[in-house]
Amino acid sequence: MKKIISNEYLLIVSRLFLGFLFVFSGIEKIIDLQTFSTSIANYKLLPNFTINFFAIILPWIELSAGLLLIFGICVKENAAIINLLLVVFIFAVGISMMRGLDIDCGCFGTAGGQQVGFQKIGENVLLLLIGTQLIFFGSSKFSINENFFSKH
Amino acid sequence: MKINFRIIVLIVVLSSITGLLVNYFNPKGVTFIHTERKLQTAEALSGINLSSPDPQQINLPQARTLYKQKVVFIDAREEDDYNLGHIHNAINIPYSNFETMKERLSNISKEDVVVTYCGGSDCDLSILLADKLFADGYKKVLVFFGGWDKWLTANYPIVINGELYNAEVE
C-alpha cells in the first residue's frame, strides 16, 4: 500500500492536480474580490473588520501555494499550507451546515456556485488526503529543485 | 516528514503582502474594512424603482400582496430543499445551476416582476440569483428577504412534498 501511495508518478499527479486546483481557485477569487468578501461575510464567522483582510490575502496564499506545488518547489511545505486551508474550509462549511445556513460556499469565487453541504465537505476531505500524501512523501520528480531553500 | 516551518511562514507572509499591495494599487480593489451590501427597499409596490441599478428588497406583507397578484416567485435553493417545501406556485431555479435552468424562465417576459427567495434572511442565494436575473435583462427583480422561513411561520400557502397546505380560500 505504502508503495503505491509513495509512487513518484502518482505523487506528480497529486501535486499537479492540487496545484492547478488551487491556482484556479485563487485566480477566480482575485478577479472578483468583492464577491469573495461577501461570501466570507455570509459565513458569519469572522468579525466584520477582519473579513476583507482575509478576502485579500487568502486567494494569494492559494495561488502561490498552488504555483509552487506545480513547479515542485517546497512541495511538503506548500502541501501543509493547503491542508491548513482545507481544515479551515471544512470547519467553516461544517459550522454553517449545523447553523442551517444555505449560502453559496464561495469556493471558486464566482465560477459555478456550489452550496455548503456534505458534498463540499467530502470533496475537501479528499483533497486533504492528497495533501497529506504530499506532506509525507513529497514529490521531487520533475521539480525545479527539491532543495531549493534548504541548501542555502 | 520533515517540514520547514520557516518556509511556510515565509510563503504565507510574502503572498499576503503581495495580496495587500495588489489590492491597494488596484482601482477595483476592495476597501480594507468590509461594508455590508444593503439592498434598497422597495417602498411601495406600485412604485418599484425601475431605474434602480440593483435588485430591491421586499418584506413579508409586500411578498404576500405580490403572491396574490400571481407574480412569479423563484426559489433559489437546491432542488432537494425546494421539494421538501416551497412557496405555492414558486418555480425552482437553483442558483448553482442557473445557466442550465434558466430555460424555465422562457415564458416569463423581461418586463414582468419576479421575486426571488431562499431559506431566510440568513441566506444569500436569493440575492445572487437576483443579480444574475438582472444581468440577464430582468429589471423588475425583487428579493423577498424573509424567504421560506418567514412564509412558513406566517402560514401562507405552501407545497410540501408535492402537497398543498394552507390553501387560499378565495
Give average pLDDT by consecutive 10-residue segment, chain A, 152 residues: 85 95 94 86 88 95 96 93 96 90 78 76 95 90 60 44
- List, in order of start, the domains of chain B with CATH numbers: 56-161 (3.40.250.10)
- What's the pLDDT at A152? 43
CA distance A115 to chain B (A): 7
What mean pLDDT is reported for chain B? 86
Verify whether the Cβ–Cβ distance A60 to B16 is below 8 Å: yes
- pLDDT-derived band of residue B124, with 50, 70 and 90 as boundaries? confident
Write the residue in A33, A102, A114 that is nearest to B81 by C-beta.
A102
CB atoms B11 and A136 under 8 Å: no
Hey, what's the cell of B15? 503572498
- State the total domains in chain A: 1
The CA distances from residue A41 to A29, B90, B123, B124, B129, in Å, are 14, 28, 11, 10, 17
* For residues B9-31, average pLDDT: 92
Q: Does residue A142 form part of some domain? A: no
Is A85 inside a domain boundary? yes
Contact residues on chain A for B81, CB-CB shorter than 8 A = 102
Q: pLDDT for B63-106, tens place per residue?
A: 998 999 889 999 998 888 899 899 999 999 988 788 888 888 88
Residues whose CB falls within 8 Å of the CB of residue B73, separated by 6 or more in sequence, listed in order: B63, B66, B67, B87, B89, B90, B91, B114, B115, B116, B117, B144
| Domain encompassing residue A55 | 2-137
Strand, helix or coil at B37? coil
Higher-confidence position of B40 and B27: B27
Taken as a whole, chain B contains a residue count of: 170
CB A29 within 8 A of CB A36: yes
> Quick one: B28 exposed, middle or buried, by C-beta within 10 A (0-12, 13-18, 19+)?
exposed
- Provide the pLDDT confidence category of residue B43 given band limits of 50, 70 and 90: low
Distance, in angstroms, between B121 CA and closest chain A CA?
Answer: 10
Is residue B50 very low, low, confident or very high in pLDDT (cuts 50, 70, 90)?
low
Give a yes or no: residue A103 inside a domain.
Answer: yes
For residue A101, give the 3-state DSSP assignment.
coil
From the list B1, B20, B77, the residue facing A57 with the nearest CB is B20
Which of B34, B118, B123 is nearest residue A51 as measured by Cβ atoms?
Answer: B34
CB contacts of B8 in chain A (<8 Å) are 77, 80-81
Interface of B with A in 28-47 (CB under 8 A): 28-34, 36-37
Tell me if A119 is assigned to some domain: yes
Distance from the Cα of B170 to chain A's closest Cα (Å) equals 34
pLDDT of residue B111: 85
* Grid cell in block for residue A102: 444555505
